[in-house]
Amino acid sequence: MNYAVILAGGVGSRFWPFSRELEPKQFMKIIGEMSLLQATIQRLKGVVDPARTYIITNKIYFYEVKAQIAKFRIPDKNIILEPLGKNTAPAVGLCAKLISRLDKEAVLLVLPSDHYIKNVENFKKTIKKAIACARKDFLVTIGIKPSAPSTGYGYIKAGYRENGHFVVDKFLEKPDLNKAKKYFKDKQFFWNSGMFIWKASVFLEEVKKYLPGLYANLQLINSVVDIAGVWPRIEAISVDYGIMEHSKRIALIPSDFYWTDLGSWEALSEIFPKDRMGNIASGDTLNLDSQGVCVFSRGNRLVSTIGIKNTVIADTPDALLVCNRKRTQDVKKLVDLMKSLNRKEHLVHLNERRPWGSFTVLQQGVGFKIKLIEITPHKRLSLQRHKSRAEHWVVVSGAAKVVSGQKVCRVQSNQSIYISKGKKHRLENTTNQPLRIVEVQTGAYLGEDDIERFQDDFKR
């Protein structure tokens, strides 16, 4: 049987400031009405049954993944949680081990969740060719014919062709521009798409051969309950470095569809329509004598440019990126710098999603913070209290069920309630409509970690 293993644990730091550590790009709607993760699942319709589709992600993304896959009838038990990101080889190895216990002949389609693909029918045809090849005990990779001398992708050098596939000569790291130009001219070179198809049993054989330490640890995992105890001992390594650069049983199937992995702003700029000067305007934008400028805006303000060239501008309510288009791969370095300076902008947006809904910080200053809170129908926050702050809630729309100490009451639109410091409280939406509340916090400390939980539907 065919199984999908979708890798959805990455941070996508090169896509900052849109992508943040707690809100990475695979959960965002970048092209169309589906998130990248949802589009990945949708492309598999008719190839893999939802019941055999698995999502591996970081434990902090569980409720986001759960919400995004609900429409596809993928069981919650198919969400495999890593306690900590360990790169792709451990993630894929874990899924191979768990799935092979259910089906010893399982063929895995290993797919990243951040790809953009056109020509979906051609994609499916390519995948079906790869599945047929994988049944002959090959490790199959999908190679993308380069459309430009890109330095943003790894490359694969193909050898001779036999029985509909290429034998792989070697995998190559992301090159400098001179090497990329040579690879682009040579018909033997393909971009490494990061999409792999193989039998779970064959992949585990290669793990045993080339990553014996990982294999030994995987043998200790017989169900999801074993993961937490074993995971800290596992070393981080990618499938490419750990397996594909060494294995002698690799086959390449050339793609016949448009592909990009949206690994950087420059990759995204290839997709959007351009004006006659090569400018992209996604959002409220005015360009005057600018050329090759890509503006992506998630804010409500006008972004205007005058006389600049080959620049990416990405605007959000709390952060602005201005970057030379030749340096978009370096955005990750900027995010690393933010982390070293303990800046919060790498972590979350002003609008933060929660399992129960979301909140947006409208304004804050010394001793106060104002939020707009939206609670999804039939969801509630934890029963909690705060040591350092009091809260005043004003219902903007909907109706709230409020627990305040021993008191339970309903607060309607245009009504308010005060929660004093140290009092146990809970906020709940029992209706079929979203509940929106303005919260005014006052106190000496207003950090999100000033929460003592007593009951929580989401086991935080």
Structure-token pair, residue 56: 């591996």
Domain(s) of CATH 3.90.550.10: residues in the chain = 2-263
pTM score of the predicted model: 0.85
Q: Specify the pLDDT at position 314.
A: 94
Q: Specify the pLDDT at position 203.
A: 97
Q: Indicate the fold that domain 351-455 takes in CATH.
A: Jelly Rolls (2.60.120)
Q: Distance between alpha carbon 34 and the CA centroid of its chain, in Å? A: 13
Nearest to 9 by CA among 73, 87, 70: 87
Q: Specify the pLDDT at position 211.
A: 97
pLDDT above 90 covers a percentage of the chain that reads 73
Whether the pLDDT of residue 450 is over 90: the answer is yes
Q: Specify the pLDDT at position 247.
A: 92
Q: Specify the pLDDT at position 261.
A: 84
Whether the pLDDT of residue 237 is over 90: the answer is yes
Domain(s) of CATH 2.60.120.10: residues in the chain = 351-455
CATH number of 2-263, picked from 3.40.50.300, 2.40.30.20, 3.50.30.60, 3.90.550.10: 3.90.550.10
d(CA 425, CA 299): 33
Helix axes 200-210, 88-100, angle to 10 degrees: 130
Look at 84-98, 183-197, 381-395, 430-444 and tell me which has the smallest mean pLDDT.
Answer: 183-197
Banded pLDDT at 130 (limits 50, 70, 90): very high
Mean pLDDT, the chain, integer: 92
Banded pLDDT at 11 (limits 50, 70, 90): confident
Q: In b/e form, how buried is each residue of 348-376, taking b as 16+ CB within 10 angstroms?
A: bbbbbbbbbbebebeeeeeeebebebbbe
Banded pLDDT at 283 (limits 50, 70, 90): confident
Q: Specify the pLDDT at position 267.
A: 83
State how beta strands 452-455 and 407-411 pair. unpaired
